[in-house]
Amino acid sequence: MTFLTPDPRQTALAQTLAATVPFVAPEAMESARGAPFDARLGANELSFGSSPAAVAAMQAELGAIWKYGIPDNAPLIDALSAHYAVDSACFTLGEGIDGLLGNLVRLYVASGDAVVTSAGSYPTFNYHVAGFGGVLHTVPYKDDFEDPEALIAKAREVGAKLVYLSNPNNPMGSVHTAQTVQDMIEAVPDGCLLVLDEAYTEFAAADTRPPLDPSDKRVIRFRTFSKAYGMAGARVAYGISHPSITRSFDKVRNHFGVNRVALAGAVAALGDADYLMQTVQRIAAGRAQLVQIAQDNGLTPLPSATNFITMDCGSGGDYARALLAALAKRGVFVRMPAIVPLDRCIRVSVGLPHEIDVFAERLPLALGDIA
């Protein structure tokens, strides 16, 4: 985070903000250490890749890259409409959930408006709230879960415009039942919108997802092609909500933001149900391996409904940060939560088999380095 000399031509708000990138890319870390990582297990990417059908569709579309994108994103919106049996007017697309969150905050949050989230949850949402002058209110996790009741209580207390929940959760991997989430939707106070981030939902059991009800104006649900579909670099995600909400994104979005190559790949990925099922199975098997590795090394793996395992190191944040650094020195890239008490943990993504083997080999060495 860097504070630059303010440019008086910028808005008063912009002059107060720090220039920051919420995540340090593994490529930047590799450049700093002068060598590539042997195991890239920190960014919750799908390292065994997207559907071959999606890759083929993107390769075929590259010849048309001289064309602009499709402003209404109709090919993918129509495919999503058919996939979910939900009217096409209930969808909006964006450059990953990050892009959608930015447009959402721009639509709903004016300077001084209250917004509620969990302390330690996905930081890009907070970044956008700050960028549009919102006032962020946080509540702590409860037993490594986001706390829906506390979130709603805080939203009611401060008159929040938005309240954010990720289910399954990043960075802890925890997940609430569909009934718990539905109860939260029912409790959303007047004047507030629930932002339900379901980036990891394909990895979770069906009973963690309340039924889609786009007639309900109290909630917008965000899903992505970055995780289970293995297209993180393509930057394409979607929101599902009442048409009065989704259509309002047309007021502020970048209409050429989703490029035509990504669009073609997402349509093909959505249609390849067999590959998605195989992916979910491979992730479950990889999670089981990571659980065993954690236990073998005296760490406590937390239950996960995502493509990563959060491992409790049994001490405070300083110890977990030291372990993170020791792993990086040994060529293993992982990340960790940033907020106490979540920062007692490291977070390890499911990777390729050889990457998991590297982690299994080097974790005890890294633990020895900091003993």
pLDDT tens column, 47-64: 999 999 999 999 999 999
Which segments of the chain belong to CATH 3.90.1150.10?
12-49+274-369
What letter represents residue 249's amino acid? Answer: F
With 90 as the cut, is the pLDDT of residue 325 above it? yes
Task: Using DSSP bridges, classify how beta strands 39-40 and 332-333 pair: parallel, antiparallel or unpaired.
Answer: parallel
Cα–Cα dist 317/338, whole Å: 8
Q: What is the mean pLDDT of the segment spanning 340-364?
A: 98
> Which three-class secondary structure state does DSSP give residue 93?
strand
For 357, phi and psi rounded to 5 degrees?
A: -65, -40
With 80 as the cut, is the pLDDT of residue 283 above it? yes
With 70 as the cut, is the pLDDT of residue 188 above it? yes
Cα–Cα dist 301/309, whole Å: 6
- pTM, entire model: 0.96
pLDDT at residue number 31: 92
Q: What is the mean pLDDT of the segment spanning 240-249?
A: 98
pLDDT at residue number 5: 77
pLDDT digits (tens, 9 = 90+) for 125-134: 999 999 999 9
Q: C-alpha angle with apex 326: 360 to 34, nearest 5 degrees?
A: 105
Using only the alpha carbons of the chain, give its radius of gyration: 21
Q: For residue 232, how many other CB atoms are within 10 A of its CB?
A: 17
For 219, phi and psi rounded to 5 degrees?
A: -145, 145
* Contact of 200 with 170, CB cutoff 8 Å: yes
For 311, phi and psi rounded to 5 degrees?
A: -115, 120
pLDDT at residue number 2: 63
For 166, phi and psi rounded to 5 degrees?
A: -105, 130
Instruction: Kindly indicate whether the domain formed by 52-272 is annotated with CATH number 3.40.640.10.
Output: yes
Which segments of the chain belong to CATH 3.40.640.10?
52-272
Cα–Cα dist 316/321, whole Å: 9
The pLDDT confidence band at residue 1, using thresholds 50, 70 and 90, is low
Q: What is the mean pLDDT of the segment spanning 42-46?
A: 97
Structure-token match 């954690």, residue found: 294
pLDDT digits (tens, 9 = 90+) for 147-159: 999 999 999 999 9
With 90 as the cut, is the pLDDT of residue 19 above it? no
Q: What is the mean pLDDT of the segment spanning 106-135?
A: 97
- CATH numeric code, 12-49+274-369: 3.90.1150.10
Percent above pLDDT 90 for the chain: 94
The pLDDT confidence band at residue 4, using thresholds 50, 70 and 90, is low
With 90 as the cut, is the pLDDT of residue 200 above it? yes
Closest-CA residue to 258 (of 128, 22, 80, 100): 100
- Which residues touch 299 (CB under 8 Å, ≥6 apart)? 311, 312, 313, 314, 346
For 143, phi and psi rounded to 5 degrees?
A: 55, 45
* Contact of 89 with 238, CB cutoff 8 Å: no
pLDDT at residue number 21: 80
Range of weakest confidence among 25-29, 90-94, 322-326: 25-29
pLDDT at residue number 18: 86
Mean pLDDT of the chain: 96
